Amino acid sequence: MTTTTSPPVTDTSHVLEVADLSVSFRTEGGTVSAVDKVDLRLDAGEIVGIVGESGCGKSVMAMALAGLLPASAHVTGSARLDGSELLGAKESTLRRIRGRDIAYIFQEPMTSLNPVLTVGRQIGEVLQAHEQLSRARARTRAIELMNLVGIPSAHERVDTYPHQMSGGLRQRVVIAMAVACGPKVLVADEPTTALDVTVQAGILNVLRDLRNGLGTSILFITHDLGVIADIADRVVVMYAGRVVESAPVQDLFDDPRHRYTAGLLQASPKPDRYAGSDRLQEIPGLVPVLSTHPDACTFADRCANASAQCRTSEPPLVGYAGEPQGDHLAACWHPNISGHEENAEER
């Protein structure tokens, strides 16, 4: 097991502390292991970005925290929210915690909104459910919340229905509902993926403002490296159900250690890159679907630097030799060390 990231549980600076979280599903084709021994921590007021391609387990991991996975999921490990264990908690306890202590926003706002209720009612209902506010008081709070998330002329919009709003405004309503009870942790799962970029910029600003104003910790899940660069303080890269790299955002982009992270960065088009003169790096192959996680690096089959060691033993998530205590961790036997390509060509 990887141990470096788990300080003692008594440390209260971590709002959310996930340890050894694994999720597997029973499916028609057999068992699928979706998340494997993930360790993760989220500090107060921190925005942690979880990045990875589809099938890497990032959404499954986030849904597992508040018991949102279907019955076919088998979840093990620990997830402590402010010291209290979420995994294995009773459904009634989880229902109380969801919305009040941990809230979710998803890619498609309409899945979280009721089409036949006004947005004001819906925001109000969250407050009434968790804080026993009166109807009138809830409405006033709803307008305040709509102002908070930057919905213009909130006192008029409070009585409109979701379908009368644009996608960006709907997502703002969903955010207002999510932060209504001042949750400690907000899980945002691809919240801007369905939106246009000019609208996305506004939503990202709202989330940043919430963190700055209310101190909300945010777990921000996305496949978009540009969005990660924009909003995250720290980044966790997932691949095939495992955390392969974890670093402060600037370090990750400047100095990606894991070969997968480096590959992803090389694969994305960037300003001043042009097909006429430059070439995007491709990562051959596919993210594997695994029935059990092997004692090996799951990226080895796609990695140009893989050695025999990579195929026979799982690399621990550790700091680089020079700075083992640092906060830049990677699970790679042959990390990409900036400047010189250690171990790169000779096998």
Partner 1 sequence: MTAVRSTQGSSGDVPALEVEDLKMHFGPVRAVDGFSLTLPQGQLTALVGESGSGKTTVGRCVVRLLEPTSGSVKVGGVDMTHLSRRQVRHHDARVSMVFQDPAGSLNPRMLVGDIIAEPLRMGRERLSASRRSARVTAELGRVGLGAEVAYRYAHELSGGQRQRVSIARALISSPSLLIADEPTSALDVSVQASVLNLLADLQRDIGFACLFITHDLSAVEYLADEVAVMYLGQIVEMRPREQIFAAPAHPYTQALLAAAPVADPAVQKRRDPVILGDDLPSPSDPPSGCRFHTRCPLAFDLCTTQIPELRTVPGGVAACHLVQPDGTGSELLGGSERRHI
Partner 2 sequence: MTTAIPVAAATTLRTRGRRARIIRRLGRNPLALISITVLLIAVLVAVSANWVAPDSASATDLAHTFSPPGTAGHLLGTDDLGRDILSRIMFGVRASLEVAFLAVLTSLVIGVPLGLIAGYYRGADSVISRIADVLLSFPFLILAVGLAAIRGASLSNAAVAIGIAQIPGVLRLVRSDTLRLKSLDYVAAALVDGASDRWVLLRHILPNATSVILVQATVALPAAILGEAVLSFLGLGIQPPQPSLGTMLSAAQEFAARAPWAAVFPGVAIMLLALAFNIFGDSLRDALDPKGSR
Kindly tell me which of 144 and 254 has the beta carbon lying closer to partner 1.
254
Count interface residues toward partner 1 (CB under 8 A). Answer: 48
Told to check if 295 binds partner 2 by CB under 8 A, we report: no
Measuring CA to CA, how many Å separate 90 from each of 94, 167, 305? 6, 35, 46
Minimum distance from residue 223 beta carbon to partner 2 (Å): 19
Distance CA 214, CA 200 (A): 21
Distance CA 60, CA 5 (A): 21
Q: Give the three-state DSSP class for 104.
A: strand
Distance CA 201, CA 178 (A): 19
Kindly tell me which of 144 and 196 has the beta carbon lying closer to partner 1.
196
Count interface residues toward partner 2 (CB under 8 A). Answer: 17
Distance CA 88, CA 90 (A): 7
Q: Of these, 8, 10, 28, 71, which contacts partner 2 (CB under 8 A)?
A: 28
Distance CA 100, CA 184 (A): 8
Told to check if 285 binds partner 2 by CB under 8 A, we report: yes
Told to check if 54 binds partner 2 by CB under 8 A, we report: no
- ∠ CA 194-197-199, nearest 5°, is 80
Distance CA 303, CA 95 (A): 43
Q: Of these, 71, 136, 275, 321, which contacts partner 1 (CB under 8 A)?
A: 275
Element (H, E) at 186: strand 185-189
Q: Which does 152 bind (CB under 5 to 8 A by kind): partner 1, partner 2, none?
A: partner 1
Told to check if 118 binds partner 1 by CB under 8 A, we report: no
Kindly tell me which of 142 and 332 has the beta carbon lying closer to partner 2.
332
Query: What residues between 39 and 58 interact with partner 1 by CB under 8 A?
Result: 53-54
Residue ranges that bind partner 1, judged by CB under 8 A = 53-54, 152, 166-169, 172, 196-202, 204-205, 223-230, 249-250, 253, 263-265, 267-275, 278-283, 286-287
